[in-house]
Every structure is written in structure tokens, then in C-alpha cells.
Amino acid sequence: MTKSARICLLATAFAAATATSASAIECNEDYQIVQGRPISTPYCRDNYLAAVARTYGYKVADTAIRNNPARKEEICRYIGSDIRVQTACEEVLPDSRDTR
């Protein structure tokens, strides 16, 4: 086996392992299900924020919300008053009661 073939094989194996581990995360709205129990996690909150944004007509991928804080803030400015996403938007939107 040539060196380039081994590198290609390793890259493919790594990509498959990465895809498998990411798809193994089970979310129910903004909660991750861990051993049958819901736990609030940033990963699932961001995915749910993207899903809710899509119901408002925004074309946004889950990864765009997770990897781009500016995009997350933009989406939260427009739909952050929706009770379904308030937890996800807390970290990027200032609280109106904050007096700092």
C-alpha cells in the first residue's frame, strides 16, 4: 500500500469516526438525552435555536449557530423573545434587567 493510499484510508476512517460520534448525540429540543435523562447542553440549545429560526424562515444550519457567535447573536436579536430559545440566547443577548 502506498503512502498516499494509507493517508487516504486514515482520513476516511477519521471522518467516519467523527461523523459517528456527532450523530450519537441525542437531543430533545434543547436538552441532550444522557442515560435517559434530559440535560441542558450548549450543543442541543444551539441546534434547537437553529431549528426554531428555520420555522421563522431563516436559512441557517445548526453548525452556523454553533460555530459563528455573530450569527447566533443576529438570530437571537430577532427571535430571542420566543420562549423556546430564551435559554440559548441568554449568553449572547444582554438582559434588560442588567444594570452593569
- In this prediction, residue 63 carries a pLDDT of 95
Strand 37-40's sheet: what is its strand order?
A: 27-28, 31-34, 37-40
User: Hey, what's the cell of 89?
Assistant: 440566547
Domain count, the chain: 1
- In this prediction, residue 1 carries a pLDDT of 65
Tell me, yes or no, whether 55 lies in a domain. Answer: yes
Tell me, yes or no, whether 5 lies in a domain. Answer: no
Structural domain of residue 39, as residue ranges?
Answer: 26-89
pLDDT at 10 over 90: no
For the segment 11-64, what is each residue's pLDDT rounded down to a tens digit?
A: 555 555 544 455 689 999 999 999 999 999 999 999 999 999 999 999 999 999
Tell me, yes or no, whether 60 lies in a domain. Answer: yes
Nearest-angstrom CA–CA distance, 85 and 51: 10
Tell me, yes or no, whether 15 lies in a domain. Answer: no
Tell me, yes or no, whether 85 lies in a domain. Answer: yes
Mean pLDDT, range 59-82, rounded to an integer: 95
Tell me, yes or no, whether 8 lies in a domain. Answer: no
Tell me, yes or no, whether 77 lies in a domain. Answer: yes
